[in-house]
Amino acid sequence: MLAAISIKNVSKSFSTEGQPILAFGPADLEVNEGDFVTLLGPSGCGKSTLLLMIAGLIPCSSGQIIMNQDEVLSPRHDIGMMFQDSTLVPWRSVLGNINLQLELRNLNPNDFQDKISELIESVSLKGYEHLRPHELSGGMQQRAALCQALIHEPKTLLLDEPLGKLDAMTRENIRKDLQNLWMNEKPTVLMVTHSIEEAVQMSSKVCVITPRPGLIDKIIEIKLPWPRDLEVKRSQEFADYMAEIQEVFQGYGVI
């Protein structure tokens, strides 16, 4: 299977008071086309740093990242990206924010009307298209941000703890939205989280990352049926995956 993302001996160091501090790596990882891979680790382990390097927003200190057969040397325009905090601009409506993603890529929003309607309906925002961010709940803002990340039909979606600040019920609902979108569109997804439950529920593979400096310690393939609904989450298999990952983190002394 063709690798959508290849990470080869990648590390990242920062300088503090003239002294280099290794924040992540070195690490190797291959993410196949259509995979939903989660980077799971404790706070400060460098998982978000790795995602920013993959996006081309910060450079690697060593190593090489290849995406869709091109080396990542600058910010990528062929990806969708979603952060923990909403990136919606406050002076535009939901529809205006989705259109903005197209405008920034010199694409005509009129050519994407069917796709926009489909995305908005798929995340239960139909009827809210003309509201501005301050008129939306946090969950609705993140749903709009998900539409914004997907409207230009990227092959790769990078998610940096996009559900981390939401309440439990809203988080579960958006997990369902995201899961359905992935099942239907099959983009390659790389998601950062510190939630073991979220990683097991959402992923085809979980990459367990050690405390800083983050190293990819273990890759666990999650062989659970889709969709990962309440019945799956109540299964013994789901509990076994949770326990396997918890034991790894107990070995680090972080839980």
The predicted-structure confidence for 114-125, as pLDDT tens digits, reads as follows 999 998 988 889
CATH annotation of 1-78+159-169+188-255: 3.40.50.300
For residue 189, which of 21, 38, 14 has the smallest C-alpha distance? 38
- The pLDDT confidence band at residue 68, using thresholds 50, 70 and 90, is confident
Distance CA 171, CA 103 (A): 29
Element (H, E) at 102: helix 94-103
Lowest mean pLDDT among 65-69, 214-218, 234-238, 249-253: 249-253
DSSP state of 155: S
Tell me what pLDDT residue 45 has: 87
As beta bridge partners, residue 98 has none
CA distances from 245 to 41, 200, 207, 240 (A): 10, 9, 10, 9
Q: Answer for the pair 11, 29: CB distance below 8 angstroms, yes or no.
A: no
Tell me what pLDDT residue 173 has: 86
Output the six-digit token pair for 250: 């107990």
| Average pLDDT value for residue range 194-201 | 93
Residues 6+ apart with CB under 8 A from 205: 35, 36, 37, 38, 219, 220, 221, 222
| Average pLDDT value for residue range 42-67 | 92
User: What are the backbone dihedrals phi and psi of residue 220, each rounded to the nearest 5 degrees, phi first?
Assistant: -115, 120
Q: Answer for the pair 25, 207: CB distance below 8 angstroms, yes or no.
A: no
Domain boundaries, the chain: 1-78+159-169+188-255
| Per-residue b or e along 61-75, where b marks 16 or more CB atoms closer than 10 Å to that residue's CB | bebebebbeeebeee
Res 1 pLDDT > 70: no
Res 32 pLDDT > 80: yes
Tell me what pLDDT residue 9 has: 95
Identify residue 37 by its one-letter amino acid code. Answer: V
User: What are the backbone dihedrals phi and psi of residue 145, each rounded to the nearest 5 degrees, phi first?
Assistant: -65, -35
pLDDT, tens only, 105-152: 888 989 999 999 998 988 889 999 999 999 999 889 988 999 999 888
